[in-house]
Amino acid sequence: MFLPILRRAALAGRRGTAAMFGLALSIATASPLAAQATGTIVGRVVDGDNGQPVAAAQVTVAGTQFGRSTGDDGRFTLANIPSGAATITVRRIGYQLQSRPITLAAGATVTIDFTLVKSSVSLAGVVVTATGEERKKEVGNAITTVSSADFERGAVANTQQILQGRTTGVTIQANGGGPGAGGNIRLRGVNSVTQGNRPLIYVDGIRIFNGNSPTGVSSRQSVSPLNDIAAADIERIEVVKGPAATTLYGTEASGGVIQIFTKRGREGPAVWTLEASAGINSMGDFGPRSDPTRMFLRECRGANVVDGLGVAFEDATCPESGSWLQNGYLGRYSLGVRGSGSGINYAISGNLENESGVFRVGSNKTGGLRANLGFAPSKTVTLALNTSWQRRNTAMLSEGNSADAFLLNVSRGPGSNFKGTGCSTTTITCVINDTIFSKANTIGGDHFITGGTATWTPTANVTNRLSIGIDYNNNDLRTINPFGYPRTPTGQYFQTLWNRQLMTVDLASTWKQTYSKNFSGTSSVGGQLFDSRINSTDLQGDNFAGPGLPTLISASLRQITDVNQQRVINAGFFAQQMIGWRDRLFVTAGARVDGNSAFGTGFGLQTYPKLSMSYVLSDESFWPSNLIETFKFRAAVGEAGKAPGAFDASRTWNPIAAEGGLSGFTPGQLGNPNLGPERTRESEVGFDAGFWGGRLGAVFTYFNAKTSDAIINVAYPPSQGFSTNQPENVGTIKNNGIEAQLTASFEPTSWSRLETRLQYTRVKGEAVDLGGRVITIDALSRSYVQEGLPLPSYVGLKVRNPNEFGAAIVDTNQFLGQTFPDQIINPSITLTLFKNLTIDAVGEFQKGGHLLNGTGFQNSGLGIWQPCFAAQKALRAAAAGDASALAGVNAKDRMRCSIVAAQRDYSYWVESADFFKLRSVSASYDVPKRFTPGARNMTVSLAGRNLFVNTKYTGSDPETADQRTSTFSRRDYYNFSTYRTFLFSVRTSF
């Protein structure tokens, strides 16, 4: 069925490849460099504030392909440089560009040192795009860069934590509070209803799977392969937001792109880095603040352990401490070496982490290796090999909408599903919730990423790059109820074997031209091929013969409950032309053409255009550089897409077991041969400005996006014989917003430096046209997509007079609030004292989002939700004839806490999820060298995460949600809150 489209996809890739090689070969044969005498340039790059070496600064010879990055000691060596006059340029993100002229004699060595000045806004660095490296000043769209210097002093463990609170336009929501639980990442809001909103993710030029693993049957959470990349291995992260910037990434890039660059080898001798961290996890404040027991987790014994009628109950298995909460140990270690020798540069590292949660069960153990190698077999060819392997074993405690969920049973008090004996008296309700700990929920797996990049630079103006790699994820999810488990006495076994592979082939050629004194250009062509495969099998076993370690085979009833095998191929090619005027005005136009095996057979190829402009006005003579020394105006418009699912365009049939054990089938999905991708067109405009000698900086972006041909599931008349909804390109969605960042750097005294940053993101989204349909995301969660409302929204019953002390007036089918926040504010501050003591703090406000407090809804109905105790007492008194008892109960609480089952509804429990969280605080001290003989440097630090939260949300946590029900809707249904982390670290290089 897919062969015609695959042939077109492959043909598109071959045509793009042929065009690229044709351009490269035509230029390569033009004029090789003439042999000439050479010399050597050496030097060192240091920070102007503290004199410390600046690592990873790019040192280049202007107008040539010669260049190197500085090592950890800030030193560089440029060998075999043609003799004569030359200009040496140093670039490093966060610093002002510096250039100095030299004259190099044949056979001589010239020493030149640089002292860099920090800048709040710098146009000196380079960023990586689909065409390769581009100077930041040339790029017409917003790209955010987070470097290792921004996060290495904090208690971050993975990419998700690195991005939290440090980038505009990025929304990250943790789904669960257990160790290893993954989260959701969105860039610039929601632009798809059915095809997901996750950004594409690249690691060292190789695309990796951008989703999460399957969810556990009882843990109802997943892990994120993105978090398998150890923070200690990351050099920097670049966030490319919106279709205006991601056009050349093609059909699946409308959600944006996150590029992760790991540490690479550097010139010079081997430098070892050892980091060891130890700490604890502990539960901070969570749940309803008026409940001293915090849903009987903080207190499971004592005078407060009563139901809504004041009747005591007892948990015979409550720990001796009187609390289910405990401190969990955290150990994190890494060892790496970087350097070069025999023409090969290398960065090799290993990591190990062992983390326990705040309950007796719950842990995340992970470890892995990484090797990045590079060498140049000739003056025009460089090769890079990047390989990593990470093994993870995550044990989760049951949570969410599961009868075995720990919070569900503990918070329901006497209503727990686990009742037993052993309490102080037989007249009291006795529960034994500790039994839940015998249930196993594990996710084990291996994540392997390997790739190679060959770069051929036949002349100083031509660069050809070929990257080939594969991302391989293999997970084994198990849920085991052992023999003798109270709810399933003979035992139960669930297993999901999940394998995900993504292969990347990426070709690109770039040709830089000089047309005249004032005009220059860069031409780029290239092609990409992605081959994505998924193989997943769900198994179940019931009834074990006896105790012991169960396996699927030891169950008397065994079945395969689901098999999923998919393969999607996407191939495309692109072309781009940039024209520059006087190295300050840059106009770029480009397009990408894609074929995808998921497109309908009658759809054909898809073209995505782009146009951008960047104008460095501060380079003009008329610019008031004494007021604003750096100013770049930028604007861009472009399109990107989102492909349909693997079988969305196909007519499908469902296999069944017919009478007598014979096989049969029933009609499934009608099919749509004209189904194509969603198209998102975005325009953005903004500026980057630097003031007061680089001490003040401002970055601003306005964006406006519209998704047309949005894929919506459409119901067809049953008379056609197919009952399953058919995906169709019939919807329209819009998004707009602003991103702003203000930075400031001051030196109040000669021994102190203060750096502050304030980021603001506002995103407004709306479903414009759904053909009059109302799309149900999850009816139980009251989550829908409707025309004129944000995506998605809570819709249901609403109390019109919530604060009145009287009977409630209830309206139906009302907008209750949008699911995701529309405003995010990230303040941060860094204070450096005496050049070696650094204090850093990062906070985050999220505003405008809502969350359904399913825990409160269920427990209030059971009379065990402490915030409803007073209202329900008054309601019972009123029901007994005392109408005056309701005088102090407002209309909202009369409905939320109602004791009449017919009046209760989830709608009344949709709450504002606004919050402020102190994401991280750290204090680090660079130990003077006189105290660390034999070491290049040593830093000790004390850091904490999630130390403080302020919210009016009454459920567990405004960020958590049950992920097995839906990843698009959100419902806090007996989910754990995120915990605090305290970490002491020592990092040393030698």
Q: What is the pLDDT of residues 855-875, one digit of tens each?
A: 999 999 999 999 999 999 999
pLDDT greater at residue 14 or residue 132: 132
Q: At 462, list the tokens.
A: 């031509």
- CB-CB contact of 174 with 183 (8 Å): yes
User: Residue 313: which of 326, 300, 294, 330 has the closest Cα?
Assistant: 300
The reply to whether 593 falls in a domain is no
Q: Using CA atoms, how far apart are residues 754 and 420, in angstroms rounded to an integer?
A: 60
- Provide the pLDDT for residue 319: 97
CATH number, position 107: 2.60.40.1120
Last residue of one domain, picked from the residues 62, 88, 118: 118
- Provide the pLDDT for residue 275: 96
- Provide the pLDDT for residue 268: 83
User: Residue 432: which of 324, 333, 356 has the closest Cα?
Assistant: 324
The reply to whether 744 falls in a domain is no
∠ CA 300-302-307, rounded to 5°: 70
Share of the chain above pLDDT 90, in %: 71
Instruction: Please compute the mean of the pLDDT values over residues 210-220 and round it to a whole number.
Output: 90
Query: Residues 528-583: pLDDT tens digits?
Result: 999 999 999 999 999 998 998 888 899 999 999 999 999 999 999 999 999 999 99
The reply to whether 608 falls in a domain is no
- Provide the pLDDT for residue 477: 96
Query: Residues 385-431: pLDDT tens digits?
Result: 999 999 999 999 999 999 999 999 999 999 999 999 999 988 999 99
Q: Using CA atoms, how far apart are residues 425 and 730, in angstroms rounded to an integer?
A: 65
- Measured from the Cβ of residue 518, the count of other Cβ atoms closer than 10 Å reads 12
Element (H, E) at 366: strand 363-378
The reply to whether 925 falls in a domain is yes
- Provide the pLDDT for residue 969: 86
Query: Residues 805-846: pLDDT tens digits?
Result: 999 999 999 999 999 999 999 999 999 999 899 999 999 999
Query: Residues 661-703: pLDDT tens digits?
Result: 788 888 888 889 999 999 999 999 999 999 888 889 999 999 9
**Which residues, listed in sequence order, are joined to residue 575 by a DSSP beta bridge?**
525, 591
Say if strands 949-951 and 910-912 run parallel, antiparallel, or are unpaired: unpaired
Element (H, E) at 18: helix 3-28
Last residue of one domain, picked from the residues 71, 87, 118: 118
What does the DSSP assignment read for 64-128? Answer: SS-EEE--TTSEEEEEEEESEEEEEEEE-TTB--EEEEEEE-TT-EEE--EEE-B-SS---SEEE
Element (H, E) at 946: none
Q: Among 154-163, 336-345, 530-539, 979-988, which is the least confidently predicted range?
A: 154-163
What does the DSSP assignment read for 725-787? Answer: -EEEEEEEEEEEEEEEEEEEEE-SSTTEEEEEEEEEEEEEEEEEESTT--EEEETTTTEEE-B
- What's the mean per-residue pLDDT of the chain? 90
879: left (phi over 0), alpha (psi -120 to 50) or beta: alpha
For residue 89, give its domain range.
38-118
Q: Using CA atoms, how far apart are residues 452 and 375, in angstroms rounded to an integer?
A: 12
Q: State pTM to two decimals.
A: 0.89
CA torsion, ordered 118, 124, 126, 127, to nearest 10 deg:
70
Q: Using CA atoms, how far apart are residues 594 and 557, in angstroms rounded to an integer?
A: 48
- Provide the pLDDT for residue 120: 66
Say if strands 313-315 and 271-282 run parallel, antiparallel, or are unpaired: unpaired
The reply to whether 732 falls in a domain is no
Query: CB under 8 Å, gap of 24 or more: what pairs does 728-731 form?
Result: 728/672, 728/675, 729/674, 729/675, 729/676, 729/678, 730/769, 730/770, 730/771, 731/193, 731/707, 731/767, 731/769, 731/770, 731/771
**Does position 33 have pLDDT exceeding 50, yes or no?**
no
For the chain, percent helix, then strand, then coil, each to nearest 5?
10, 50, 35
- Provide the pLDDT for residue 965: 67
Identify the three-state secondary structure at position 661: helix
**Does position 298 have pLDDT exceeding 80, yes or no?**
yes
- Give me the number of domains the chain comprises: 2
**Does position 178 have pLDDT exceeding 80, yes or no?**
yes
Say if strands 114-116 and 381-395 run parallel, antiparallel, or are unpaired: unpaired
- CB-CB contact of 815 with 793 (8 Å): yes
Distances in whole angstroms, Cα of residue 200 to Cα of each of 169, 208, 418: 15, 8, 44
The reply to whether 960 falls in a domain is yes
Kindly give, in sequence order, each residue whose CB lies less than 8 Å from that of residue 567, ignoring residues fewer than 6 positions away.
531, 532, 533, 534, 597, 646
**Does position 237 have pLDDT exceeding 80, yes or no?**
yes
**Residue-level length of the chain:** 990
Q: What are phi and psi of 510, to 5 degrees?
A: -130, 135
Q: At 172, list the tokens.
A: 């990250």
The reply to whether 582 falls in a domain is no
- Provide the pLDDT for residue 122: 64
- Provide the pLDDT for residue 882: 93
Instruction: Please compute the mean of the pLDDT values over residues 609-621 and round it to a whole number.
Output: 95
Last residue of one domain, picked from the residues 118, 149, 179: 118
Query: What is the Cα Rg of the chain in Å?
Result: 30
- CB-CB contact of 543 with 553 (8 Å): no
Q: Using CA atoms, how far apart are residues 502 and 534, in angstroms rounded to an integer?
A: 9
| Alpha carbon of residue 544 to chain centroid | 41
What's the pLDDT band for 2 if we cut at 50, 70, 90?
very low
Query: Residues 179-188: pLDDT tens digits?
Result: 998 888 999 9
User: Residue 264: which of 373, 150, 388 has the closest Cα?
Assistant: 373
- Provide the pLDDT for residue 433: 97
User: Residue 860: which of 396, 291, 253, 341 has the closest Cα?
Assistant: 291
Query: Residues 75-122: pLDDT tens digits?
Result: 888 888 888 899 999 988 778 788 889 998 888 899 999 998 877 666
Kindly give, in sequence order, each residue whose CB lies less than 8 Å from that of residue 499, ignoring residues fewer than 6 positions away.
472, 473, 474, 475, 533, 534, 535, 536
For tokens 């290495």, the residue is 152
- Provide the pLDDT for residue 432: 97
Say if strands 429-431 and 313-315 run parallel, antiparallel, or are unpaired: parallel
For tokens 């050809």, the residue is 464
872: left (phi over 0), alpha (psi -120 to 50) or beta: alpha
The reply to whether 879 falls in a domain is yes
Q: Using CA atoms, how far apart are residues 790 and 780, in angstroms rounded to an integer?
A: 19
pLDDT greater at residue 156 or residue 833: 833
Q: At 528, list the tokens.
A: 């990409």
Kindly give, in sequence order, each residue whose CB lies less than 8 Å from that of residue 587, ignoring residues fewer than 6 positions away.
578, 579, 611, 612, 613
